[in-house]
Amino acid sequence: MGEWSFLSTLLDKVHSHSTGFGKVWMSVLFLFRIFILAAGVDKIWGDEQANLNCNTHTPGCKNACYNRTFPLSHTRFWVLQILIVSTPTLIYLGHVLLVVRKENKMRKHLQQKTDINKINKVPKYSDERGKVELKGILLISYMVQLIFKALVEVAFIVGQYFIYGFIFMPSKITCPESVMPCKGLVDCYISRPTEKTVFIIFMLAVAVFSGILNIIEMLHLIFSKMKNRKRRSSHSFPQQVCSFNRTDPSSPRTGPYQENSLRQNCSGKR
């Protein structure tokens, strides 16, 4: 599992800059994809081509049958899937580190300034500990990487069906006469078809779950931001009305009932 350590270290840094759903997605990626692929899948598949038994002795026919049925090995397909799915998250991590580094330089610059009136920019995405807040350009970056991850999951789920044409691993594959250099129909028998079927279904289910998790996280962020914006607008509007009626001498006169109602509302918002 040493070859996965570098990717795991990078993804672990994203953990502190993600939402709750993002942390769940990260745990699913570590436990049910990287760990399972490194610990169990490779041992079951192993050298699949060497374990393929065919009822022919024609040189090259066995390799041709295997290549026709499995253009890409399942293990290599899943490795490619993990790497491509993780790429948007790593790009987001790079964006976060760039923003944090920029704002840390900004803080050092602010500490050297003594005149507050000359300060033009202040950090708004991160604090002194490097913890970021999802808003503005960082929120857009986070949403974009979620969209790309969901699209990649769907693409690999569909691609798995078009590449292999099956979900349940068959115990026997038949190569037609058109496969060169085979002579006639050739039957080849696959080792451990049941175990391989279990892992195929498991990895497919994890991909579906990860894609759904990305969609749920997108909806959660959209609705939470809409709710916060609506709450801020509802709080700021009464204060603007009260300020307008207190300071503007040209505002229209109100009746006794309206003045009492306005006074009660303004006093309640203080």
130: CATH: 1.20.1440.80
Nearest CA to 27 among 201, 154, 200, 209? 209
What strand order describes the sheet that includes 172-175? 53-54, 186-189, 172-175
What are the pLDDT digits (tens) for 62-90?
888 888 888 888 888 999 999 999 999 88
Whether residue 119 is contained in a domain is answered as yes
In a domain, 257, yes or no: no
Residue 139: inside a domain: yes
10-19, 167-176, 189-198, 221-230: least confident range: 10-19
Give the whole-angstrom CA distance, residue 95 versus residue 92. Answer: 5
**Domain-located, residue 231:** yes
Give the three-state DSSP class for 201. Answer: helix
Q: Is 187 helix (H, G, I), strand (E, B) or coil?
A: strand
Select from 205, 204, 220 the least CA-distant residue to 18. Answer: 220
- Which three-class secondary structure state does DSSP give residue 172? strand
Q: What is the mean pLDDT of the chain?
A: 77
Say what the pTM is: 0.73
| pLDDT the model gives residue 16 | 64
Residue 149 has pLDDT above 70, yes or no: yes
Number of structural domains, the chain? 1
Residue 113 has pLDDT above 70, yes or no: no
Residue 262, pLDDT > 70, answer no
Query: Do the domain assignments include residue 128?
Result: yes
Q: How far, in Å, are 97, 119, 127 from residue 123 at the CA level?
A: 14, 11, 8
CA–CA–CA angle 35, 41, 42 (5° rounding): 105
Residue 246 lies in a domain: no
Give the pLDDT confidence score for residue 68 in this predicted structure. Answer: 86
Contact 29, 207 (CB under 8 A): no
Would you say residue 20 lies in a domain?
A: yes
Q: By residue range, what is the domain housing residue 54?
A: 2-235
Question: Residue 33's closest CA among 72, 4, 66?
Answer: 4
Contact 168, 204 (CB under 8 A): no
Residue 252 within a domain: no
Q: What is the pLDDT of residue 251?
A: 47
- Per-residue pLDDT band at 147 (split at 50, 70, 90): very high
